[in-house]
């Protein structure tokens, strides 16, 4: 185990749009941020082939390229980007306290402020064919990728409010939406169920699961199975949207930071402040409503500004005590 403890003014955990935007603002504020990428450098956008809804890219851009550009921009202002994963934390509940972090189980860090941007991981079905075609017609974000399937037939898996909302969103731009529900009823609210049932180009199939995603390079169909009869059927679709939930990457903070029942970090209204002084949260790790790259980037900016103000206040208080 490493014996050297490094002191960092601003530690950023996570490397998606929130993390890199926070890094850009923090480095320009001379906070000398150090960013650890986590287990998925670049975040979920690295699995997205085309990003068409982020302002400033009139021709669109692929996700990995966009994230590399964000990283270079952060590094240009002085951010130190490191590969590594935070494996344990000991957060201080005192104003101006020092937070203790361990990276990869062996590197010890003391941080004066922390910005958490670890994101949330979309839940998938776990089928090999599904994983193989992620980015080739399989998506976990209808709002992000639905545009590419305008005028086409698609399917969506899920039974909750998010699935119902995304199904009706897709129905506005796609010819037909087949909604696959594992049980004999939906979990969505009655209002959302009514919306789905009143949308003529949405077909709901109950007791139905995906057996295999068909296609070599891109999705060209699904093999579905009725889990009551065992009957299989091939349906023709060009896109498959998975809407069975997300898991926020917050396990390492459990017992120290306030979270909701799903594990999303709770921040004070209109800020990125958590319940621990000097610890801020940005992006999907604290946002289960929007989950967009642009909103994540916005909260990354907010977190850096909150951290800058916090550190300035701490410094002012320390000077006042010395005087």
pTM comes to 0.82
10 classed as catalytic: no
What is the model's pLDDT at position 1?
A: 44
141 classed as catalytic: yes
DSSP 80-101: EEE---EEEEE---STTPPEEE
Q: pLDDT higher for 152 or 165? A: 152
Residue where the block lists tokens 């109950």: 206
Look at residues 137, 138, 128, 181 and name the one whose alpha carbon lies nearest to residue 159.
181
Confidence of residue 62 (pLDDT cuts 50, 70, 90): confident
Confidence of residue 291 (pLDDT cuts 50, 70, 90): confident
Confidence of residue 49 (pLDDT cuts 50, 70, 90): low
Q: Which of 10, 30, 62, 141 is catalytic?
A: 141
Q: Which of 10, 145, 284, 306 is catalytic?
A: 145
Q: Which of 52, 62, 144, 260 is catalytic?
A: 144
**Rounded Cα distance, 42 and 20, in Å:** 9
Confidence of residue 323 (pLDDT cuts 50, 70, 90): low
Mean pLDDT of 297-307: 98
**Rounded Cα distance, 244 and 120, in Å:** 13
Look at residues 312, 304, 316, 323 and name the one whose alpha carbon lies nearest to residue 114.
304
Confidence of residue 45 (pLDDT cuts 50, 70, 90): confident
Specify the 3-state DSSP secondary structure of 126.
coil
pLDDT tens digit sequence for 179-213? 999 999 999 999 999 999 999 999 999 999 999 99
288: CB partners within 8 A, 6+ apart:
120, 246, 248, 262, 264
Mean pLDDT of 7-26: 97
What is the model's pLDDT at position 43?
A: 73
46 phi, psi to nearest 5 deg: -70, -15
pLDDT tens digit sequence for 207-256? 999 999 999 999 999 999 999 999 999 999 999 999 998 899 999 999 99
Q: Is the pLDDT of residue 259 over 70?
A: yes
Look over the chain and give the mean of its residue pLDDT values, rounded to a whole number.
94
- For 305, what's the count of Cα atoms within 13 Å in the CB-facing half-sphere? 9
301 classed as catalytic: no
Percent of the chain residues past pLDDT 70, beyond the cut: 97
Specify the 3-state DSSP secondary structure of 209.
strand
**Rounded Cα distance, 175 and 12, in Å:** 43
What is the model's pLDDT at position 47?
A: 64
Domains and CATH numbers, the chain: 5-121+246-322 (3.50.50.60), 124-242 (3.50.50.60)
What is the model's pLDDT at position 37?
A: 94
């Amino acid at each position: 185990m490493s014996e050297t403890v490094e002191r960092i003014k601003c530690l950023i955990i996570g490397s998606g749009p929130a993390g890199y935007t926070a890094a850009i603002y923090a480095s320009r504020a001379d906070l000398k941020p150090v960013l650890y990428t986590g287990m998925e450098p670049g975040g979920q956008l690295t699995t997205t082939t085309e990003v068409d809804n982020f302002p400033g890219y009139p021709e669109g851009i692929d996700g990995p390229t966009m994230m590399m550009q964000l990283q270079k921009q952060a590094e240009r202002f002085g951010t130190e980007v490191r590969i590594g994963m935070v494996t344990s934390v000991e957060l201080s509940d005192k104003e101006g306290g020092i937070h203790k972090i361990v990276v990869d189980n062996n590197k010890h860090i003391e941080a004066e402020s922390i910005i958490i941007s670890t994101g949330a991981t979309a839940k998938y079905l776990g089928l090999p064919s599904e994983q193989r075609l992620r980015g080739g017609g399989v998506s976990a974000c209808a709002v992000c990728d639905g545009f590419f399937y305008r005028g086409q037939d698609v399917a969506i898996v899920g039974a909750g409010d998010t699935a119902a909302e995304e199904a009706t969103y897709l129905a506005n731009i796609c010819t037909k939406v087949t909604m696959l529900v594992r049980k004999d009823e939906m979990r969505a609210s009655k209002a959302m169920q009514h919306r789905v049932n009143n949308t003529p180009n949405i077909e709901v199939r109950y007791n139905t699961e995906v057996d295999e995603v068909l296609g070599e390079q891109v999705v060209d169909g699904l093999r579905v199975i009725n889990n009551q009869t065992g009957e299989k059927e091939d349906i023709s679709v060009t896109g498959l949207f998975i809407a069975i939930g997300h898991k926020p990457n917050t396990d390492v903070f459990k017992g120290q930071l306030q979270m909701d029942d799903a594990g999303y970090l709770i921040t004070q209204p209109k800020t990125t402040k958590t319940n621990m002084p000097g610890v801020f949260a940005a992006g999907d790790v604290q946002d289960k409503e929007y989950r967009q790259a642009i909103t994540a980037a916005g909260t990354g900016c907010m977190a850096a500004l909150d951290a800058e103000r916090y550190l300035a206040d701490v410094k002012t208080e320390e000077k006042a005590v010395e005087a």
